Structure 1
């Protein structure tokens, strides 16, 4: 009598009963199309699929059991540290095919809405500065990871997802299986991570050029080198000790303002003077990203990207000045701006278009469209007219995630090491990230 195979086991903080309905007895690359979601995905050394679950979408990666549990815990720790990354949902083990053949464990993460892998962004219609903005976003993510002591080990565009953040991008960690969390990273660990990033980025861009996804005129080496420069600039701005004469104490606030402009908060400053008190030395002790997004969250409850928050706060300040309420409590003015300006504008977006862009990104584009119309018509165009024009002329042209991918679920069966299905330039503007 053959031994009874181990039972299916799902490890998760909160288990969705619908998980039991997925075909865990089937190898992931053979899952039927009716359970799959046709979303863009990057190249991975493992089989990865997106599946529909309880009205949402989960990413499922087949991987060894030990590695799956380790990555699950790492992602949970990074989430507690408020690092941008995918949300871990659980690990499924004890999988067996009907003939008793054991199948690999699966790591489950929640699909990051309004995000795309870098391969879906690079096309023949790539805008000149899009690559630079992606590298800037990845550099910010890497600095944030290193500040909390996370050694990535495999920094690359493939292991990152990107979301639109006003005129820039925000980067999110996707793959943490090679990572490790320490109390503090040594300069050597940081340098190695940075060199891995540079080499991987150059290789990924050259691969895109070989597949005719990226113009031969783009200098892949120059872009790869750029992440080193951007990373080092950010790291110095956030951690470098600065000295100045005692009479220049105003530079303390200047340093804080500069860090705020970069999107970071200063929790504590180490301020020391020399023996005769003529020289002051300062160094940030605690720096947290999300300065503007936290302020907007505190004032309005809106949870948005950092640069989106910066743009919305500027509009809030303009509203405050236009209504002559500079002397009133900021929270009261913010409440009125939210209910009288922001919410009525985004609610005007028809239901069928609401999955194209996040509300904060819609409002950011409305502000851009208002400026364009006002310049065109030589008058201050009211927001009501702006929304009507934007919904009629701009928003319908935006593709959603399935339109960006341009393939059916059946086409997802190609090997993970192969190239991504060709994205038509008319479907993806390299300067546009739409989820």
Structure 2
């Protein structure tokens, strides 16, 4: 049997003809190196490979046909409701080897650019609070999933990818295999997901300690417990009913402001008073994540992570004050900031170096570098000087896809630094 004689069935929302060029007649673990993209490896239950296709990189996971179709549909649903997760490309079935042996179906997703599995983040010497920041990101992701009615079923660091977001991380779901989408989750479902997460994370951190990727004095149990605490604090802030006196109506706006500070928008509030009109109850009805990123998108068209957006908006506010334009329409000021500040700064970085970091992350680091230079030189260093210094002294030292904490992705590729269990992790 030749590759051309296979009866492949391709299910994809936007089929790419380049899919037919990949060697589907070969078991995934035996794919030739010229087809593959070398990216940081993690742990997976399944055989997973990164492949180049039409100038992009996709992740391909061998999995049972029924499970592949189910996960594909779940990822499509999560994408439609704007939950941070990998984008599904399609499912391919009907694969056979040259001698006619059936091969497993595959699920294909887009590779999440500028992201790394957690093991890559711990493979070199990192800041002591790395684990805490990863846990914070995972807690936010879990809350967002639960608010959307998604029951994960297998929450873990291994099933998550992390992307830099200013000085923090943003977490993305990469394995929906055990998940399920409901109109609303029960408290029991949420608590079960949370307990699974806590136990899995403790085990993963202990495994890192055994592999000498994490210091022995790090309390894995305390970090696992911190996830549950962070989750419950955030869930209460987003969903609990607040009661206050009728004369304290200012607390309605204070509640909204607090939720905005957490990065969430309030679409509707349920406000009721008691019979005597002396007590007010307030509860958010619709809560959506991405308050700052949506505001920045509306003002400038920039599509960035939440904390990056917060940082860029702060710089926009400083620009507005410095140019004495507080009373002007914010949209006009934002346009001028984009064309006079943001775009010239990013364009000041040579094209061959821009692929190392996302533009918003480059600008965030430029702001940090400008502050450092200004402190060092005891003067307000202009952005043009800052860009020259950053391009000369900082950015060239960073490999492509380097994390903000100094992980050198190039050092992680095709090495034995990370235990190999049927290879790459991008989908779990």
Q: Would you call these one fold, judging by a TM-score over 0.5?
A: yes
Measured in 2, the distance between the counterparts of 1:201 and 1:14 equals 36
Q: What's the counterpart of residue 371 of structure 2?
A: 371
1:19 to 2:19 alignment: yes
Q: What's the counterpart of residue 274 of structure 1?
A: 274
Q: What's the counterpart of residue 334 of structure 1?
A: 334
CA displacement 1:25-69 (0-9 Å, x = unmatched) = 000000000000000132110001000001110000000000000
Q: Secondary structure at the match of 1:197?
A: helix
Q: What's the counterpart of residue 129 of structure 1?
A: 129
Q: Tell which deviates more after alignment, 159-168 or 393-402.
A: 393-402
Q: What's the counterpart of residue 390 of structure 1?
A: 390
Deviation at residue 214 of structure 1 after TM alignment: 1.3
CA displacement 1:200-227 (0-9 Å, x = unmatched) = 0011111111111111121111111110
Flag structure 2 segments of 5+ consecutive residues without an equivalent: 403-407
1:406 to 2:411 alignment: yes
Measured in 1, the distance between the counterparts of 2:398 and 2:141 equals 27
Deviation at residue 406 of structure 1 after TM alignment: 2.5
Measured in 2, the distance between the counterparts of 1:78 and 1:123 equals 31
Q: What's the counterpart of residue 431 of structure 1?
A: none
8 Å contact from structure 2 (residues 41, 424) kept in 1: no
Deviation at residue 413 of structure 1 after TM alignment: 12
Q: Secondary structure at the match of 2:275?
A: coil
Q: What's the counterpart of residue 105 of structure 2?
A: 105
4+ residue runs over 4 A deviation: 407-415, 417-420
Q: What's the counterpart of residue 416 of structure 1?
A: 421
Q: What's the counterpart of residue 252 of structure 1?
A: 252
Q: What's the counterpart of residue 8 of structure 2?
A: 8
CA displacement 1:94-143 (0-9 Å, x = unmatched) = 00001111000000000000000000001351211111110000000000
CA displacement 1:323-352 (0-9 Å, x = unmatched) = 111111110110010011000000111122
1:176 to 2:181 alignment: no
Q: Tell which deviates more after alignment, 145-154 or 345-354.
A: 345-354
Q: Secondary structure at the match of 1:190?
A: helix
CA displacement 1:279-330 (0-9 Å, x = unmatched) = 0000000000000000000000000000000000000011011111111111
- CA gap of 1:53–1:79, structure 2 versus 1, over 3 A, is same
Q: What's the counterpart of residue 323 of structure 1?
A: 323
Measured in 2, the distance between the counterparts of 1:347 and 1:336 equals 16
- CA gap of 1:410–1:234, structure 2 versus 1, over 3 A, is closer
Measured in 1, the distance between the counterparts of 2:345 and 2:146 equals 39
- CA gap of 1:408–1:305, structure 2 versus 1, over 3 A, is closer
Q: What's the counterpart of residue 85 of structure 2?
A: 85
8 Å contact from structure 1 (residues 202, 223) kept in 2: yes
8 Å contact from structure 1 (residues 115, 161) kept in 2: yes
Q: What's the counterpart of residue 166 of structure 1?
A: 166
1:150 to 2:184 alignment: no
1:51 to 2:56 alignment: no
Measured in 1, the distance between the counterparts of 2:419 and 2:372 equals 44
8 Å contact from structure 1 (residues 120, 405) kept in 2: no
Q: What's the counterpart of residue 61 of structure 1?
A: 61
Q: What's the counterpart of residue 231 of structure 1?
A: 231
Deviation at residue 417 of structure 1 after TM alignment: 4.9
- CA gap of 1:256–1:414, structure 2 versus 1, over 3 A, is closer
In the alignment of these two chains, the number of paired residues is 417
Instruction: Give me the TM-score of the superposition, normalised by structure 1.
Output: 0.93
8 Å contact from structure 1 (residues 152, 176) kept in 2: yes
Measured in 1, the distance between the counterparts of 2:153 and 2:383 equals 48
- CA gap of 1:411–1:24, structure 2 versus 1, over 3 A, is farther
CA displacement 1:238-263 (0-9 Å, x = unmatched) = 00000000011100000000000000
8 Å contact from structure 1 (residues 312, 364) kept in 2: yes
Q: Secondary structure at the match of 1:406?
A: helix
Measured in 2, the distance between the counterparts of 1:179 and 1:143 equals 15
Deviation at residue 414 of structure 1 after TM alignment: 8.4
Q: What's the counterpart of residue 427 of structure 1?
A: none
8 Å contact from structure 2 (residues 9, 93) kept in 1: yes
Instruction: Give me the TM-score of the superposition, normalised by structure 2.
Output: 0.94
Measured in 2, the distance between the counterparts of 1:281 and 1:410 equals 57
Q: What's the counterpart of residue 38 of structure 1?
A: 38
Say which structure, 1 or 2, has more relative contact order (CA 8 Å, 6+ apart).
2
Measured in 2, the distance between the counterparts of 1:407 and 1:252 equals 50
CA RMSD of aligned residues (A): 1.9
Measured in 2, the distance between the counterparts of 1:372 and 1:407 equals 30
- CA gap of 1:348–1:82, structure 2 versus 1, over 3 A, is same
8 Å contact from structure 1 (residues 40, 401) kept in 2: no
Q: Secondary structure at the match of 1:267?
A: strand
